[in-house]
Chain A
Amino acid sequence: MIGRSQLKCPAVHNYMVSKSAWEDKKKKAEFEPYKPLNFPVHIPLESLASEGKLTLYGSKSRINVGTAACGRAAGALNIYNNLEQRDWNEKAQVFKTGCIGACYAEPLVNIRTADGKHYFYGRVDTNSMWRIIRTAEEGGTVSSPYLWAVARERQPDLLRSFEDLELIKVYNPGFDEFFRPQVRRISGRCGLVDPENIAEYVAMGGYRALQQALFKLSKRQIIDMIGASGLRGRGGAGFPTADKVNMAYESPDPVRYVIANADEGDPGAYMDRALLESDPHSVLEGLIISALVTGASQAYIFVRHEYPLAVQVLNKAINSARKVRLVGDNILGSSFSLNITVVESGGAFVCGEETSMLQVMKGQRGEPQLRPPYPASRGFREHPTVIDNVETLANIPWIILNGADAFRAKGTEKSPGTKIFCLAGDIKRSGFIEVPLGTGTKVLVEGVGGAVKDSVKALHIGGPSGGIVPYRDFPLDYETVASAGAIMGSGGLVPLSKKRCMVDMARHMTNFMASESCGKCNICRGGLLELEARLLALTIGRGYPGILDEIEELSKCIPQISLCGLGKTAANPVTTTLTYFRDEYEAHLKGKCPAVSCKPLIDFEIILPCKECHACYSVCPTGAVKMRAGKTDRLVVDPELCIKCWACYETCPFDSIKICSEEFSCKNW
Chain B
Amino acid sequence: MQELVEITVDGKNMAVSADTTVLQALREHDIYLPALCYHPHLEAYGSCGLCLVEILNDDNWETKHACLLKVKDGLQIRTDTSELRLLRSWAAKIFLRHRPFLNHKTENFLLNLVQDEIKEKPEDENLTKCIKDLSGYMTEGCILCGLCVRMCSKIGKHHLTFLGKGKNLRISFVRGKSGETSCGNCRACCHVCPAGFITSNAEQAFSAKLY
Q: Measuring CB to CB, which residues of chain A are less than 8 angstroms from any residue of chain B?
A: 348, 350, 365-366, 370, 511, 513-523, 525-530, 532-534, 536-537, 540, 542-544, 547, 553-554, 557, 560-563, 669
Which chain B residues numbered 137 to 169 have a C-beta less than 8 Å away from chain A? Answer: 143-146, 161-162, 164-169
CB distance from A639 to the nearest CB of B (A): 20
With a cutoff of 8 Å between Cβ atoms, the chain B residues found around residue A514 in the complex are: 134, 166-167
With a cutoff of 8 Å between Cβ atoms, the chain A residues found around residue B144 in the complex are: 519, 522, 525
With a cutoff of 8 Å between Cβ atoms, the chain B residues found around residue A542 in the complex are: 126-127, 129-130
With the chains together, A527 CA to B166 CA distance in Å?
11
Q: Are A525 and B167 in contact (CB under 8 A)?
A: yes
With the chains together, A444 CA to B37 CA distance in Å?
48
Q: Are B166 and A554 in contact (CB under 8 A)?
A: no
Q: Are B86 and A519 in contact (CB under 8 A)?
A: no
Interface size class of B (residues with CB under 8 A): 35 or more
Q: Are B87 and A560 in contact (CB under 8 A)?
A: yes
With the chains together, A669 CA to B124 CA distance in Å?
9
With the chains together, A563 CA to B48 CA distance in Å?
11
Partner among B47, B63, B134, B165 whose Cβ is within 8 Å of the Cβ of A532: B134
With a cutoff of 8 Å between Cβ atoms, the chain A residues found around residue B134 in the complex are: 511, 514, 529, 532-533, 536
Partner among B48, B68, B127, B169 whose Cβ is within 8 Å of the Cβ of A544: B127
Query: Which of A370, A516, A520 has the largest number of chain B CB atoms within 10 A?
Result: A520
With a cutoff of 8 Å between Cβ atoms, the chain B residues found around residue A348 in the complex are: 165
Q: Are A522 and B169 in contact (CB under 8 A)?
A: no
With the chains together, A322 CA to B166 CA distance in Å?
40
CB distance from B162 to the nearest CB of A (A): 6
Q: Can you give 29 contacting A-B residue pairs, CB < 8 Å?
A: A370-B68, A515-B166, A516-B166, A519-B169, A520-B45, A521-B47, A521-B49, A522-B49, A523-B49, A523-B90, A525-B144, A526-B94, A526-B95, A527-B91, A529-B135, A533-B127, A533-B131, A537-B124, A542-B126, A544-B124, A544-B127, A547-B124, A547-B127, A554-B90, A557-B90, A561-B90, A562-B49, A563-B46, A563-B65
Partner among A523, A534, A547 whose Cβ is within 8 Å of the Cβ of B94: A523
With the chains together, A576 CA to B131 CA distance in Å?
23
With the chains together, A533 CA to B113 CA distance in Å?
22
Query: Which of A366, A511, A517, A537 has the largest number of chain B CB atoms within 10 A?
Result: A537
Q: Given contacts A521-B49, A542-B127, list 18 more A-B pairs with CB under 8 A.
A: A515-B165, A517-B166, A519-B164, A519-B167, A519-B168, A520-B146, A522-B91, A523-B94, A525-B166, A533-B130, A533-B131, A536-B130, A542-B129, A544-B124, A553-B86, A557-B87, A560-B63, A560-B87
CB distance from B50 to the nearest CB of A (A): 9
Closest residue of B by beta carbon distance from A517: B166
Using A515-B168, A529-B134, A533-B131 as known contacts, say yes or no to A523 and B91 having CB atoms under 8 A apart: yes
Closest residue of B by beta carbon distance from A519: B169
CB distance from A379 to the nearest CB of B (A): 19
Partner among A520, A534, A537, A540 whose Cβ is within 8 Å of the Cβ of B47: A520
CB distance from B117 to the nearest CB of A (A): 11
For B174-192 the 0/1 string (1 means CB < 8 A from A) is 0000000000000000000
B71 within 8 A of A: no
With a cutoff of 8 Å between Cβ atoms, the chain B residues found around residue A533 in the complex are: 127, 130-131, 134
Closest residue of B by beta carbon distance from A561: B49
CB distance from B78 to the nearest CB of A (A): 14
Query: Which of B91, B94, B166 has the largest number of chain A CB atoms within 10 A?
Result: B166
Using A526-B95, A536-B133, A544-B127 as known contacts, say yes or no to A518 and B90 having CB atoms under 8 A apart: no
Which chain B residues numbered 48 to 90 have a C-beta less than 8 Å away from chain A? Answer: 48-49, 52, 63, 65, 68, 86-87, 90
Closest residue of B by beta carbon distance from A348: B165
B97 within 8 A of A: yes
Closest residue of B by beta carbon distance from A563: B46
Closest residue of B by beta carbon distance from A528: B167
With the chains together, A554 CA to B89 CA distance in Å?
11
Closest residue of B by beta carbon distance from A557: B90
Q: Are B143 and A522 in contact (CB under 8 A)?
A: yes
With a cutoff of 8 Å between Cβ atoms, the chain B residues found around residue A544 in the complex are: 124, 126-127
Query: Which of B91, B146, B168 has the largest number of chain A CB atoms within 10 A?
Result: B91
Q: Are B131 and A529 in contact (CB under 8 A)?
A: yes
Query: Which of A517, A529, A553 has the largest number of chain B CB atoms within 10 A?
Result: A529
Partner among A513, A516, A534, A553 whose Cβ is within 8 Å of the Cβ of B90: A553
With a cutoff of 8 Å between Cβ atoms, the chain A residues found around residue B91 in the complex are: 522-523, 527, 557, 561
Query: Which of B49, B127, B129, B133 has the largest number of chain A CB atoms within 10 A?
Result: B49
With a cutoff of 8 Å between Cβ atoms, the chain B residues found around residue A526 in the complex are: 94-95, 97, 167
With a cutoff of 8 Å between Cβ atoms, the chain B residues found around residue A530 in the complex are: 93-94, 97, 131
With a cutoff of 8 Å between Cβ atoms, the chain A residues found around residue B45 in the complex are: 520
With the chains together, A526 CA to B139 CA distance in Å?
11
CB distance from A298 to the nearest CB of B (A): 28
With the chains together, A370 CA to B47 CA distance in Å?
12
With the chains together, A515 CA to B47 CA distance in Å?
17
Q: Are B94 and A527 in contact (CB under 8 A)?
A: yes
CB distance from A269 to the nearest CB of B (A): 20
With the chains together, A522 CA to B144 CA distance in Å?
8
Query: Which of A522, A523, A540, A554 has the largest number of chain B CB atoms within 10 A?
Result: A522
Q: Are A518 and B127 in contact (CB under 8 A)?
A: no
Q: Are B87 and A515 in contact (CB under 8 A)?
A: no
Closest residue of A by beta carbon distance from B162: A365
CB distance from B51 to the nearest CB of A (A): 10
With the chains together, A560 CA to B90 CA distance in Å?
12
Partner among A519, A522, A540, A561 whose Cβ is within 8 Å of the Cβ of B165: A519
CB distance from A359 to the nearest CB of B (A): 12
CB distance from A5 to the nearest CB of B (A): 44
Query: Which of B45, B162, B167 has the largest number of chain A CB atoms within 10 A?
Result: B167
With the chains together, A639 CA to B92 CA distance in Å?
42
CB distance from A599 to the nearest CB of B (A): 15
CB distance from A263 to the nearest CB of B (A): 15
With the chains together, A344 CA to B127 CA distance in Å?
40
Q: Are B133 and A519 in contact (CB under 8 A)?
A: no
Using A522-B94, A523-B94 as known contacts, say yes or no to A537 and B126 having CB atoms under 8 A apart: yes
With a cutoff of 8 Å between Cβ atoms, the chain B residues found around residue A534 in the complex are: 127, 130
Nearest 5 CB-CB pairings of A with B: A519-B169, A526-B94, A542-B126, A533-B130, A561-B49
With the chains together, A202 CA to B68 CA distance in Å?
50
CB distance from B114 to the nearest CB of A (A): 13
With the chains together, A669 CA to B65 CA distance in Å?
39
CB distance from B211 to the nearest CB of A (A): 14
With the chains together, A4 CA to B95 CA distance in Å?
72
Using A521-B46, A536-B133, A536-B134 as known contacts, say yes or no to A561 and B162 having CB atoms under 8 A apart: no
CB distance from B36 to the nearest CB of A (A): 8
Partner among A518, A554, A561 whose Cβ is within 8 Å of the Cβ of B52: A561
Closest residue of A by beta carbon distance from B98: A526
